[in-house]
Homo-oligomer: A and B are copies of this chain.
Amino acid sequence: MRADAKRNFDRIVEVAGATFRSKGYDAPLDDIAKQAGVGPGTLYRHFPTREALIDAVMQNWIASVNESAEKALAHEGDARDRLMAWFEEYAARLTVHKGVAAKITAALGDATSPMANKCQTYSTANAKVIDSLRSEGAVRPNVEALEVLRLIGGIASVADQGNLPPEAVRPMLEVVADGVLR
């Protein structure tokens, strides 16, 4: 990739992120192009569809928070406390960007999605938490790690779309925690 191309690519993603957050995910792409100081042609060459651009923005964001994903693993307390800490951490991350929860959760099971491998960190972090609790015998048999990820994703999606405050989300997470633990 040529240097000027990369410059434009990055600039577009940056501007798009800011614009999507402030004006919504249906903001005119030509505006974003103009804002980024490029022609529409350049934007569409890099991102053939709106979807592609949104993906790029999100991947950018996931990468930026990924590094700290393991924080929740080092929590103090009993099994339930640790599980809840992880749930809240995960749900909070998912609700930072409008729409991200649904998108990531849908991508989880689909290996062909460009999102999926970006979410590896989440998947493995989750598996680690569940496995560690399982080895203590705290987890019900038949509970799969992927299911848990999806359940929390579902809660985050609902919270996202209904603009639910954290105090409405917490009890839902607790129901899932009780369902996961013996």
Interface residues of A (CB under 8 A from B): 102, 105-106, 108-110, 140, 142-144, 147-148, 150-151, 153-155, 157-158, 161-162, 164, 168, 171-172, 174-180
Q: In the assembly, how many copies of this chain are there?
A: 2
* Closest-CB distance, A154 to chain B (whole angstroms): 3
Residues of B within 8 A of A151 (CB): 154-155, 172, 175-176
* Closest-CB distance, A180 to chain B (whole angstroms): 6
Chain A interface, >50% SS class: helix
Question: Could you name 20 residue pairs across A and B whose Cβ atoms are closer than 8 Å?
Answer: A102-B157, A102-B158, A105-B162, A108-B162, A109-B164, A147-B168, A147-B172, A148-B175, A150-B155, A150-B172, A151-B154, A151-B176, A153-B154, A154-B155, A154-B158, A154-B172, A157-B158, A175-B180, A176-B179, A179-B179
Distance of A151 Cα from B147 Cα, bound (Å): 13
* Closest-CB distance, A138 to chain B (whole angstroms): 14
